[in-house]
Structure 1
């Protein structure tokens, strides 16, 4: 198993998504002797946002890029190579203001690239993902109960976005593990964490 862990929380010691990701990955490692693990921490070290030069370079074939263009795509190329290396993804994605952290959005803007992670056919106007054959789990803490299907679920732009953007590049098996109600009292918070932990341990046994 080749696993890429992507952490996007700006918190470290108090991060629920980081703590549960660590437990889940440890369980996977114990059951897979051929386990290989890389971490991309965009929460503490976010990639640069695309710029006008980045965008221009992205839409040119490699042989037409200047040295400056090739250089500005270096970080994106490295992140894409890392993504394509993995066959499993674990994403720690705390919900910030009903969506994904801006650090994760910057990462996704770097890896969703034409002819690298998706193609476009101008004749049929269709897109095709290139990052196929992978599975992903997203661990998603939130302040309240914004789980899709609940009364506040329509304010959850995090889960649908993750499924859509990962599916767009070919990662269609996406499991969302919610950890709601993290602004509630301690007993409720810990109940939600325990439920998510049990869910993750069950997934680790079958993933």
Structure 2
């Protein structure tokens, strides 16, 4: 049995290739690990607020010193972090928008980047130490063009960013699956290729 956290970030719904690919990954995981529990966080339908100064101040105020207002300010972050800590496996849908991830996925990442909880600063210009080393993630991404190889590869700031971010907080990326080239081959063909590539 696995505790799966399924993170959706596409603003599109029924027509979203990344949603369909992400759902397929979750189904494969459930087949491999019967009885798995799936928690869904749909950032397209229920986005987290982008960080402002009040969030930052609240994060770095010791819990025992936070005001009631500060506790409410970071409620979204606390809920997201708890979901993350409870999970064994993440399925993250990261469709490419303008060469990178959606802003709602970036906001989610900002809310789960918590010193002493998901990472430990090392100082001296070094990368933080990730604290979530017992977790793995699968990334589902989609795009109009082909970015895994060829002329556009250098413009893919979606998959490399998600992979790098997860590694910094200690999460191992176990697989990346793409529904790419939708504008070249058609959405259905691109998605079918993505389905066939799934290995968990």
The 5 A counterparts of 1:6-21 are 6-21=7-22
| 1:87 match | 88
Please give the alpha-carbon distance, in whole angstroms, between the structure 1 residues aligned to 2:147 and 2:125.
Answer: 37
TM-score for both structures, normalised by structure 1: 0.90
Q: Partners of 1:17 and 1:124 in 2: how far apart?
A: 36
Q: Is the deviation greater in 172-181 or in 46-55? A: 172-181
Aligned partners of 2:158, 2:106: CA distance in 1, in Å? 11
CA deviations 1:142-171 (Å, max 9, x no partner) are 010111x42111111001100111111101
Unaligned regions of 5+ residues in structure 1, if any? none
The number of equivalent residue pairs is 199
Query: RMSD of the alignment, in Å?
Result: 1.7
Displacement over 6 Å in runs of 4+: none
Equivalent residue, structure 2, for 1:199: 197
Matched residue, 1:22: 23
| Structure 2: unaligned runs, 5 residues or longer | none
Asked if the contact 2:9/2:94 (under 8 Å) is kept, the reply is yes
TM-score normalised over the length of structure 2: 0.93
Superposed, 1:53-202 pairs within 5 Å as 53-122=54-123, 125=126, 127-147=128-148, 149-186=149-186, 189-200=187-198
Distance 1:50 1:28 in 2: 33
CA contact (8 A) 1:118 1:127 kept: yes
